[in-house]
Amino acid sequence: MSLAVRIENVSKVYPLGKTSVQALKNIELAIQEGEFTTIAGPSGCGKSTLLNLIGCMDTPTTGEVYVEGQPISQLKDKELTRLRLEKLGFIFQSFNLIPVLTVYQNIEFPLLIHGGFTKKERAARIDALMEEVGLQPQAQQKSNELSGGQRQRVAIARALVTQPRIVLADEPTANLDSATGERIIDLMKTINRTHKTTFIFSTHDPQVMKQASRVVRLKDGAVLEA
Amino acid sequence: MQVLELSSLIVKVAFRNLWLYRLKTVVIASLLGFGSFLSIVGLTLLRDVEATMQESIIGSVAGHLQMYSKKAKDDLAIFGSTFMGRQDIGVLEDISTYRDALLRHPEVQAVIPMGIDMGMLGRGNEMDESLDVLRAALKGGDPVIINERVEQLGFQIEQLGRELAERKKVTQDQVEVVKEEADLAKVKEAAFTESVARGDESALQYLETRIAPLSGEKLPIYLMYLGTDIDLYRQNFPKFRVVAGEVLPPGQRGIMLSNKVREDQLKNTAARLFDKLNKRVVKLKIPIKGDAENLRLVQDLPRQYNQIMAYLDRAEAVELHESLKQLGIPATEGTLIAQLVQQVKDFLKVDDQNFEARYRWFYEQIAPKIKLYEISPGETILLRSYTKSGYIKSLPLKVYGVYSFQGLEDSDIAGVMNIIDLVSLRELYGQMTESSLKELQEMRSQVGIKEIAAENAEDALFGDGAAATVESRVEAPTPAPQATIQVKPVIPDMFDVTEVGKGLALNAAIKLKDDVKLQDLKESLEKDLKSQGLDVKIVDWQQASGFVGQFVVIVRLVLIFALGVIFVVALVIINNSIIVGTLNRIREIGTMRAIGAQKSFVVEMFLAETAITGLIGSCVGTFIALGLLIWLGDYGIPSSHDVVTFLFSGPRLYPKLHPGIILLSPLFVTGVATLASVYAARHAAHVTPAEAMQEKE
Ligand SMILES: Nc1ncnc2c1ncn2[C@@H]1O[C@H](COP(=O)(O)OP(=O)(O)OP(=O)(O)O)[C@@H](O)[C@H]1O
Ligand SMILES: [Mg+2]
């Protein structure tokens, strides 16, 4: 099995006024393809920072992050964006759908940005995904008419529509009640199994952690247990 | 396909945001709509005014191009420069050289020689006029007519006596009045009247030199005149219309009076006040009561009673006295004159109730009895001008007709010019023309004769024709020795037609076959003339017309400035709203960026929002502008001012629809707004994807 993500001696320092905050300290981490990994730890320990680096939304202060073997620290914004579009999928804590668009259009959005798909190809992918996440009846509904759980399902479908190798989710269940959260994690796990997509997500919730195949524990910006 | 779908997505998102922030959208759309509206209406009117103005200027005096000497000290300003007075635009020595050189160009249709100058119009008062008429009657020798004239004169002398009596009550200079009374008493004697009726020269002269001045001298009028080849002029200036009389025949000395000058300066003052009031009260519907200008005119009107009285003979006075009584204006007591004066004064007291009726009555009953215009076709005027070398040159010119420019009848600017023949212009300018040389010779020989016959000077002076004496009096009231030089021994009032085409002109209008490429042609003509040693300035009609031509340039600058201000305000608001709006939309932008949208996508999204806002706003603005222009196209925009009348080439401007302006204005407004929001849109694109993650709902 090859590595989905490799993190080599990564530190991240945020400037904060005249001082600075060290969010991550000398992180070493490797995540295999197809893993269902959760990043856990107390608030402020650096979970989001780590996910942002893996998600190519930020670059490390020192060290290197390899995504699908590609080092990212020297990439320009444009290349990072392209990488996010092609290799990564994102699920957000607050779902972050585009309210004016329908369920279908929200899922279609990354494909349109990506370009190169016919309408038919897009429809095939979206229909399949909607069925998978159980949203077919809501296809033409506006996203702001949906419940939290339904929204997160749309977000999952949107994250998967470009068939990314890795899906990142920063506290995907934090805004959901525990039952709904559980079903979302179940869905993610099913997809992880059927599509062999690597999932990396953060959580506070011990219930959710139990579902993960691997738990990476952070404390004060350092890996406590991997 | 893909691009289209992405665009439709962008548009969709843009619409959502416009709706979400609709107040802001409405503000920006209104601003841009107003910008489009102003741009369409402004540019349309500007173009129309330019077209009508071009029509006015090219079709009345200027032609397409104007040529004048390079040695000119002032710029040519046909319709006057900002400061009045005579301009020094040099001379074109011999117009034929210039004309021949220009006519070699296939684009040139005609070269019309011109000269614009200013002179003084010698004027007599009513008594002078009566005396002129009397002299003519004496010459005619019909005793009935002579008697009538003498009677008329007697009536005027009677009136003069009354005026003098009134003056005596108020004046300080009693000695002078007593002297004048004595003079007047002398001419009232029956013996004097008899000698006048016999045509006794000394009696007539006594009247002319002592009595006529008592009724007051009129101020001289300054006349602008355009000397030209009348035939060529008429062929090339279609706006020229004869209003009264006939066209100045080619090869004749003479003048065509401008109708406007005649109406404004040579019309009976009472009639003129009636006209002014009629225009304001009846046409413009401004009530007399409460309007300062109207009240001033109304107060002025009764003071003009003498403008009516002076022209009446006894029979007419009696008739008017009776008809005024019938109108319900009773006479009081006293002599006929005293009664009539009171009646006329009462008649001239107008108000909102009686004005229309009085106006009609004036033109029906009074106007036919008086001299409505000081000068009418068929009469001869004396035009005086300072020649280039500073001498006063005077020239009698027959008034052939009265003209105006079509559509510009009410315009002071177009109406200021009287037209004379070019030969007379040259003489007034101080040029020795063939006929003036002949005239000089004749004058010399005449003076010679007079010197020989010195012992019988009176006969030499007055024996051979009344015309000469009339002029001598107008020219020099007291017969001084040098006055004989100015006695014109009948200037030939004809000249060889070819003379016009040869000699001096001050400027020349160049008429083209069509008016495209005016600017290019201007330069090439100028260059071509220069290569032939003819150093001239050639300017287009707009430049040549003086301050009027600059008016459109000024209006355009004002419009551009106004549009500029609107744009700047709109752009500041747009940019500001995008930057502020970004704060509300960090999550949305961040999400898009996180899932793979490039910065350019975000920029495009914001630009699309501005473009849509701009398009909606400017479409609405365009429709409103279109509606307004169509409405104005039917009703016309009334001209509020004389300059405007001139610019409109008529009393109303009917705007035309120019598809180019209507289509391009909203696109331009939208385009500029969109481009100008690039900065703010880029600012928005700086939102990082990570920020989307942190934002909590
Ligand atoms: N953009 C930033 N600028 C400055 N400091 C930051 C920034 N992002 C994170 N930090 C700091 O870095 C540290 C790690 O933050 P991070 O958001 O990664 O923690 P977290 O584990 O995700 O916490 P939570 O469970 O509350 O989401 C914190 O001390 C935080 O204040
Ligand atoms: Mg976090």
Residue B646 Cα, gap to closest chain A Cα (Å):
58
Between residues B87 and B669, which one has the greater pLDDT?
B669
B4 touches A at CB < 8 Å: no
- pLDDT of B487 reads 39
Between strands A166-170 and A19-32, the pairing is unpaired
- Residue A220, H or E segment: none
pLDDT of B438 > 70? The answer is no
Read off the pLDDT of each residue in A45-57 and give the average, rounded to a whole number.
93
pLDDT of A222 > 80? The answer is yes
Contact B694 A159 (CB under 8 A): no
Q: Pick the residue from chain B with its C-alpha nearest to A164.
A: B595
From chain A, the residues in CB contact with B688 under 8 A are 57-58
pLDDT digits (tens, 9 = 90+) for B195-238: 888 888 888 888 888 888 777 767 778 888 999 999 999 999 98
- pLDDT of B495 reads 79
Read off the pLDDT of each residue in B626-650 and give the average, rounded to a whole number.
85
Output the pTM of the full model.
Answer: 0.68
pLDDT of B457 > 50? The answer is no
- pLDDT of B473 reads 29
pLDDT of A189 > 50? The answer is yes
Which residue CA neighbors atom 6 of ligand 1 most closely? Answer: A14
pLDDT digits (tens, 9 = 90+) for A67-85: 999 999 999 999 999 999 9
CB A125 within 8 Å of CB A47: no
- The ipTM value here is 0.94
Q: Return the bridge partners of B403, or none.
A: B242, B258
From chain A, the residues in CB contact with B599 under 8 A are 77-78, 81
- pLDDT of B439 reads 64
Average pLDDT over chain A reads 92
Q: Pick the residue from chain B with its C-alpha nearest to A100.
A: B16
B604 touches A at CB < 8 Å: no
CA of B605 to the centre of ligand 2 (A): 29
For residue B564 the two structure tokens come to 């500029």
From chain A, the residues in CB contact with B590 under 8 A are 96
Residue of B694, B695, B696 to test ligand 1 pocket, by largest number of atoms within 8 Å of CB: B694
Residue B8, classed as helix, strand or coil, is: helix
- pLDDT of B217 reads 66
B691 touches A at CB < 8 Å: no
CA of A221 to the centre of ligand 1 (A): 9
Which of A78, A94, A98 comes nearest B598 by C-beta? Answer: A78
Read off the pLDDT of each residue in B397-426 and give the average, rounded to a whole number.
87
CA of A23 to the centre of ligand 1 (A): 6
Which residue CA neighbors atom 18 of ligand 1 most closely? Answer: A46
- pLDDT of A217 reads 94
* A222-225: strand order across its sheet: A88-91, A166-170, A198-203, A36-40, A214-219, A222-225
pLDDT of B454 > 70? The answer is no
For residue B667 the two structure tokens come to 């696109």
Which of A84, A93, A112 comes nearest B5 by C-beta? Answer: A112
- pLDDT of A62 reads 94
Beta strands in B183-295 (DSSP E): 221-228, 240-245, 255-258
Residue of A11, A13, A47 to test ligand 1 pocket, by largest number of atoms within 8 Å of CB: A47
pLDDT band at B579 (very low <50, low <70, confident <90, very high): confident
Helices (H), ranges, A90-201: 103-114, 119-133, 148-160, 178-195
- pLDDT of B586 reads 86
- pLDDT of B479 reads 38
Read off the pLDDT of each residue in A61-65 and give the average, rounded to a whole number.
95
Q: Pick the residue from chain A with its C-alpha nearest to B690.
A: A57
pLDDT digits (tens, 9 = 90+) for B359-373: 999 999 999 988 899
pLDDT digits (tens, 9 = 90+) for B375-388: 889 988 888 888 77
CB B394 within 8 Å of CB B122: yes
The rounded percent of chain B whose pLDDT value lies above 90 is: 24
pLDDT of A204 > 90? The answer is no
Helix axes A148-160, A103-114, angle to 10 degrees: 20
pLDDT band at B147 (very low <50, low <70, confident <90, very high): confident
Distance CA A120, CA B331 (A): 106
Read off the pLDDT of each residue in A95-117 and give the average, rounded to a whole number.
89
Distance CA B420, CA B404 (A): 14
CA of A44 to the centre of ligand 1 (A): 5
- pLDDT of B437 reads 65
Residue B15 Cα, gap to closest chain A Cα (Å):
9
Which of A52, A162, A175 comes nearest B697 by C-beta? Answer: A175
- pLDDT of B447 reads 58
CB A8 within 8 Å of CB A66: yes
Residue B27 Cα, gap to closest chain A Cα (Å):
22
A99 touches B at CB < 8 Å: yes
pLDDT of B465 > 50? The answer is no
- pLDDT of B440 reads 63
Q: What share of chain A is helix, strand, coil (3-state, %, to 5)?
A: 40, 30, 30
A84 touches B at CB < 8 Å: yes
- pLDDT of B523 reads 87
pLDDT of A224 > 60? The answer is yes
Read off the pLDDT of each residue in A154-176 and give the average, rounded to a whole number.
93
pLDDT of B189 > 90? The answer is no
Read off the pLDDT of each residue in A167-194 and give the average, rounded to a whole number.
91
The rounded percent of chain A whose pLDDT value lies above 70 is: 100
- pLDDT of B72 reads 83
CA of B10 to the centre of ligand 1 (A): 33
Which of A84, A117, A118 comes nearest B596 by C-beta? Answer: A84
- pLDDT of B471 reads 32
Contact A52 B593 (CB under 8 A): no
DSSP string of B153-219? Answer: HHHHHHHHHHHHHHHHHH-S-HHHHHHHHHHHHHHHSHHHHHHHHHT-HHHHHHIIIIIGGGG-PPP
pLDDT band at B469 (very low <50, low <70, confident <90, very high): very low
Write out residues with Cβ below 6 Å of ligand 1: A 14, 16, 21, 23, 41, 43-49
